[in-house]
Structure 1
Amino acid sequence: DGHAGEGAAPFFLHFDARELDQAPVGYMLEDRYLYRAFLDAMEASDKITLLHETQVTGQQVVPGGVEVSLSTGKTLTAKLLIGADGRRSGVAERAGITREGWGYGQTALVAAVEHEKPHNGIAQQFFMPTGPLAILPLKGNRSSIVWSETEENAKTISALNDEDFLAVLRPRFGDFLGEIKLAGPRFSYPLNLTLAKAYVAPRVALVGDAAHGVHPIAGQGLNLGLRDVAALAEIVVEAMRRGEDIGAEDVLERYQGWRRFDSTSLALGMDTVNKLFSNDNPLLKAGRDLGMGLVQAIPGLRRGFMQQAAGLSGPLPRLLQGRAL
C-alpha cells in the first residue's frame, strides 16, 4: 500500500509457498502459449471438431436435447450446450440468462518489461489510490505488468510514446529490479464485474467468463474458469455412469450449487479489496495497513489466505487434484 514515488507503507503482506509445503502458490503462463496448447490439444483429439470461421446463430431446446444453428446453415443437436463464450456470452443471452455487475472506473494497462535484476519468481502487488499495479514474473529477467488506473489517467498514459510511458511507470514500479524497459507491445482494457444471475438454464451450463467476469486484482479469473470446467466434467461423467440425462435440470443444478457460491463470493471479495485499496481515505488506509500487518504476523491466518489464493481451499474437483474422473 502506498503512493507512486514514495514507496510502500511499512505494513505489508508476504506469501511464501514453503509455508504450505506445496508446489509454488501459482504459475505465470503467457496467454500466447496457453492458447496454442489448447488449440493443439483440440486439433489432436478425435472427439473434438473445430469449426473455423463459423458462428452460432441460434439455439433452442428440443425434445430430449438442445439444437444449435450455425452460420454455415448446419444444425447440431446434443444433450447439453456449454457456454464458454466470454463475458458477452451469446449462449447465456439466447438462454434468457441475464447479468448484473458494474464498472470500476478503471482501465488495466498491460505490458511486458525487461529488468536488470532477477525477480526470483516473486510476484509483487502495489496498491495505489488510483488502482493496483501487479508485477508478475516471466522467464528470464522479464515480468508482465497489470497496471490499473482511473479511466481518465489510463487514456492519457495510453496515448504516450514508449519512453514517456516508462517515465510514468518507473516511480510506481520502483527500483527493486533495477532499470526497466518495455519488452513488447502495450495493451489496455476496461475493468468491470459481471455475474450471470444463473449458471444454468434448460439444457445449458455456463463456465468461465460467461458465468463470472472478475477484477484481475488476484489473478483468479482463469482459475475460476478451470474450476468450473473440472466441476462440470465431474458431474457430467458421474451422471452418465448412473445412466442419467446429462442435460437434465437436477444434474445441472448440482453444478450450479457447487460453483455459484464459490465464484460469486470470490468475485465480491476481490471487488471489496479493490474498493478498499483504490482510495486515499486516511481512516481506510490505517485500517487496511493494520489488517495486512496482522495477517502477516499470524502464520495460521496467513496460510489460510495463501491456500485461497493457490486454489487449495474448498471442495476441489478431482481433475484439479490431479485425479482421474
Structure 2
Amino acid sequence: MSAMKTTHYDLCINGAGPVGATLACRLAAAGIRVLLVDKAALPVMEDPSLDGRAYAISEGSKRLLVAAGIWDNLPASPQGIREIRVSDGRPHEAASPLFLHFESEDAPQGQNFGWMVEARDLRLAINTTLHHYKTLDIHAPDMGEFTFHPDHVAIHLKSGKTATAQLVVAAEGRRSPLRDQARIGITKIPYNQFGIVATIAHERPHDGVALEHFLPEGPFARLPMPGTPEHPHRSAIVWAEGTGRAHRFYDLPDHIFAREIRARMGDEDLGEITPIGRRWVYPLSAQYAQTYISHRLALAGDSAHGIHPIAGQGLNIGFRDIAVLSNILIQAHTQHKDFGDKTLLTQYQRQTRPSNMAMLAATDTLERLFGNDNPILRRIRDLGIAGVHRLPPLRRAFVKRAMGL
C-alpha cells in the first residue's frame, strides 16, 4: 500500500470565520498557497439563526475586503454610516445637553465613517469568494493535528489528508486550541454584562445616523441598516445590561421590548418601533493573549484579543491584524522568504499588539467611566464629550483612528 501524498502549502489557517477566511482570500489573491481548515461546514455558517449581529465595517477593513475580492460579492448594498451621535443619560430620560456629534465633514474627503453589513451577508460574500482562488484549498468540516518542527509544521487532518506549511495562523476564536497548544497565556477581564442584539423597524428614516447612548447599566447603540421592501427603515440594536436584567429584557414581549428600546434612545425619535426577527444575548468580556506569536504560529482576531463592544471595533481590530500580516507575507512571498521566519512574526506582533492593547484599554476605560451613575463622574464625562465636540481637529483625529486609516 503506497504512502499517502503530503501536500505542501505556504500557509495553513485554522479557522474560517470572517478573519481567517478573509486572510485566506487576501493571500490566495496574491498567488500564495493556502490551506484553510474549519471544524464547521461553510454553508452552515450562512444560517441567519446562528448569528444576529451586524458589523460596523471601517474604511480600513473595507479596503482589505476589496483587496481580498470579498466586498463586491456582498449580496446586499451595505448601509453607509454618515453621522454618529454620542450622548450620555439614563433610561426614560432626555439625554444630557452636552453631547458629541461626528458629522460628514469630520471624515476624510466626505467618506462614510463606516458601513453596516449583516453577519450573514458577509458570510455569503466570503463563501462565494473562497471558491474563486486556485491556490486555496478548503477543508471544512475537518479538524487538524498540528506538529511544529524546526523548519515546517506537519498537519494531519481528520479526513486523512496530510500536509505541511511554513506557518500556521490561529483564527479560531476566543477559545483557541492552537493558542493553548503553544502554551500562550491569556488575561480575561469580566464585565458581568450581557449584550442584547436585535433588529428593529422604525417609522422614520435613520438617514445613515448611528447613535451611541451611554447609560448606567451599559452602552446602548442603534446602528443604521439598509431597508428591505417589507421594512424600509431598519436599525440594529446592541444593548449592554447587567446579567440578570439582560435576560429579563431579552424575554420581554415585543411591545414592551420596543418600549424599553425607545426609553434608551434619549432625544432620538424615529417614530413607532417594531422589533423584527429573533433576538440574541451574548456574555460580554475582554481578553488578550500574552503574545501573538510562537514558533511558526501567529494568532489573529479573537484568538489574540477580544474587547468590549462599546466602540464596535472588535472585528475591525481582527481585520487590522490580517491586513498587517498579509502585507508582511505578500512581501515575503515576492522575496522567497520563509513565512515562519521569526523576524517576520516579530514584525507582525510589533505592528499590531501595541495599538490593539491601546484599543482594549480605551474600551475598558470607557466602560468603567460611563457604566455607572456617579454624579461627579457623569459631570466629568459630559464635559469631556462636549469638549471633544467643540474641537474639530480632535474630532477628526478620533474619526481617522476609528476608520482604521
| TM class, shorter-length | over 0.9
Match of 1:164 among 256, 259, 283: 256
Structure 2 counterpart of 1:278, one-letter code: G
Structure 2 residue 373 is matched with structure 1 residue 277: no
Structure 1 counterpart of 2:176, one-letter code: S
Match of 1:208 among 284, 301, 312: 301
Moved over 6 A (4+): none
Structure 2 residue 245 is matched with structure 1 residue 153: yes
Work out the CA distance in 1 between the residues paired with 2:326 and 2:353: 15
SS of equivalent residue, structure 1 residue 164 = helix
Match of 1:136 among 212, 223, 232: 223
Structure 2 residue 274 is matched with structure 1 residue 181: yes
Structure 2 residue 356 is matched with structure 1 residue 263: yes
SS of equivalent residue, structure 1 residue 28 = strand
Q: Which residue pairs with 1:31 in the alignment? A: 119
Work out the CA distance in 2 between the residues paired with 1:64 and 1:223: 32
Structure 2 counterpart of 1:71, one-letter code: K
Match of 2:289 among 196, 217, 225: 196
Shift of residue 270, structure 1, vs aligned partner: 0.7
- CA gap of 1:216–1:310, structure 2 versus 1, over 3 A, is same
Shift of residue 298, structure 1, vs aligned partner: 1.0
Q: Verify the 8 A CA contact 2:247 2:281 in the aligned structure 1.
A: no
Structure 1 counterpart of 2:190, one-letter code: G
SS of equivalent residue, structure 2 residue 194 = strand
Identity of aligned residues (%): 41
Structure 2 residue 182 is matched with structure 1 residue 90: no
Q: Which residue pairs with 2:20 in the alignment? A: none
Q: Which residue pairs with 2:319 in the alignment? A: 226
In the TM superposition, 1:103-114 aligns within 5 A as 103-114=190-201
Shift of residue 160, structure 1, vs aligned partner: 2.2
Q: Verify the 8 A CA contact 1:104 1:191 in the aligned structure 2.
A: yes
Unaligned runs of 5+ in 2: 1-87, 228-232
Q: Which residue pairs with 2:202 in the alignment? A: 115
Q: Which residue pairs with 1:42 in the alignment? A: 130
Structure 2 residue 334 is matched with structure 1 residue 241: yes
Shift of residue 166, structure 1, vs aligned partner: 2.1
SS of equivalent residue, structure 2 residue 325 = helix
SS of equivalent residue, structure 1 residue 135 = strand
For residues 180-221 of structure 1, what are the alpha-carbon distances to aligned partners after superposition, in whole Å with 9 as ceiling and x for unaligned?
001211001000001111111100011111111111111111
Shift of residue 251, structure 1, vs aligned partner: 1.2
Structure 1 counterpart of 2:395, one-letter code: R
Work out the CA distance in 1 between the residues paired with 2:308 and 2:104: 24
In the TM superposition, 1:60-99 aligns within 5 A as 60-99=147-186
More strand by share: 2
Structure 2 residue 142 is matched with structure 1 residue 54: yes
Work out the CA distance in 2 between the residues paired with 1:76 and 1:162: 52
SS of equivalent residue, structure 1 residue 76 = strand
- Corresponding residue pairs, total: 311
Shift of residue 79, structure 1, vs aligned partner: 0.1
Structure 2 residue 381 is matched with structure 1 residue 291: no
Structure 2 counterpart of 1:235, one-letter code: I
TM-score by length of 2: 0.75
Work out the CA distance in 1 between the residues paired with 2:131 and 2:255: 42
SS of equivalent residue, structure 1 residue 29 = strand
SS of equivalent residue, structure 1 residue 193 = strand
SS of equivalent residue, structure 1 residue 79 = strand
Work out the CA distance in 1 between the residues paired with 2:290 and 2:346: 14
Shift of residue 7, structure 1, vs aligned partner: 1.7
Structure 2 counterpart of 1:191, one-letter code: L
For residues 157-180 of structure 1, what are the alpha-carbon distances to aligned partners after superposition, in whole Å with 9 as ceiling and x for unaligned?
122232332232221135511110
For residues 243-262 of structure 1, what are the alpha-carbon distances to aligned partners after superposition, in whole Å with 9 as ceiling and x for unaligned?
32110111100000000001
Shift of residue 62, structure 1, vs aligned partner: 1.6
TM-score by length of 1: 0.92
Unaligned runs of 5+ in 1: 313-325
For residues 74-116 of structure 1, what are the alpha-carbon distances to aligned partners after superposition, in whole Å with 9 as ceiling and x for unaligned?
3321000011111111121112211112111110000000000
Q: Verify the 8 A CA contact 1:108 1:147 in the aligned structure 2.
A: yes
Structure 1 counterpart of 2:97, one-letter code: P
Shift of residue 44, structure 1, vs aligned partner: 2.1
Structure 2 counterpart of 1:257, one-letter code: R
Work out the CA distance in 2 between the residues paired with 1:25 and 1:113: 22
Q: Verify the 8 A CA contact 1:59 1:94 in the aligned structure 2.
A: no
SS of equivalent residue, structure 2 residue 322 = helix
Work out the CA distance in 2 between the residues paired with 1:91 and 1:75: 18
- CA gap of 1:240–1:44, structure 2 versus 1, over 3 A, is closer
Work out the CA distance in 2 between the residues paired with 1:79 and 1:220: 31
Work out the CA distance in 1 between the residues paired with 2:186 and 2:256: 39
SS of equivalent residue, structure 1 residue 44 = coil
Q: Verify the 8 A CA contact 2:156 2:163 in the aligned structure 1.
A: yes
